[in-house]
Structure 1
Amino acid sequence: MKRSFYFNREYLEESLPRDSRGYVGTFTALAASPDDVPKIEAAVDGQFRNSPVQTKTETQSAFGLSFLAFLGNVKLILLGVSSAVTFTILLVSANTIAMSVRERVREVGVLKTLGYTSGTILAIIVGEAVTISLVGALLGLGLATLMTSAVRSMPTFNAQLETLTIQPSVAALCLLVAAMIGLISAFVPAFGASRISIVEALRSDE
């Protein structure tokens, strides 16, 4: 382990209930070579096979996977939560952009008076929404990078957390999803605003 956290075990024992004292949940052993791992596992488990508290010796990666399996299908849970959050953000963004476009109908009329085409106005509104979404995604990725860096610097028993990073493919996917949210949420109100006539836009009170 690259990082360790040391403390007085006797002080910890005193803070625990009496029936919980004297127990250790995990021991870490360093093998001389990968070939020795199966032998060590068999020797340790064989020594405690008939004891009241039996052991289960496994590699650190296998321990991490078993811990995740204990929590359940984490990938499916995270995917479901992420999908729900993404859909909620899409609804909120669509409502916000629709309100913004309704309040700027007169500006659309002025732009058309100056010679802007419907396609140009559509591109301006959609581009603005996509830009805002991408800026939010970049801020989120920056915050996630800081959080993963903090997790890597914390003492942990799981070696996989020491390599926790935001992969470039994940960052690219986040930016793509953010751009799609901005595009989808802005297209309908932007299309409606771009098709409005100059007279109707200039007479708008909103």
Structure 2
Amino acid sequence: MRRALVVTAILAFVIAGPAGAARLPQAKRQAINRTLDRFVNTAVKRQNVDSAWNLVTPELRAGISRSAWDKGNLPVYPYPARGTTFHSWTVDFASPNEVDFELMIGRSKTDSIQFTGTMKKLHGRWLVDSFNPAATFSAGGTVVGPHDFAASSGGGGGKGVARLGSVWIAVPAALIGGGILLVLGLFVFVWLRNRRAYRRAHLRPLEPIVVKRRGSEPALVAKERSESDG
């Protein structure tokens, strides 16, 4: 009975763990909402981008000067998001000073992009540490994954989607296929060569075997002598 209670408690802890991690205090969620609203309306929309400098962590803007940032050269995917509030994000992971989230942002009623991001609390303020597109959805049912997004730092309209040409898929496939055929060809060549050598070795004529009986030679000699005497 005691063992059953222990197992039940462990299972309850494992099952409840992710759900508990997804819950945030209301004050923390509101603070993140304020930062996200300002970040999307400036950095993502490419409007008054200079205001977004203090909304991100030093890691996100590493290697970028303030003047370049103010000109729109920032490592944030541009997108003409619809609306001004973006509170419908869900939590993937949460700790006292870090929150990983997913946020769906729409450009129209039919087109939208799902972003994944991280918020970090530095010096009492929640700042954006990462904000990247994960998938885009369109009215035609087309879904584009994260590897289809081209890096863009300019003020484009969010159309920086890169499509991989078929030639870049065909060339590696041909090289791999050619390598496999080469290995198979070498294997067949060695096998045939060994088979021919084996057959040649077993088709050689055998040397005659002479069996001599003990005492046969003296008898033969005696017979020959008797015939010669007669």
Q: Name the TM-score, length of structure 2 as normaliser.
A: 0.25
**Which of the two has higher C-alpha Rg?**
2
Q: Name the TM-score, length of structure 1 as normaliser.
A: 0.27
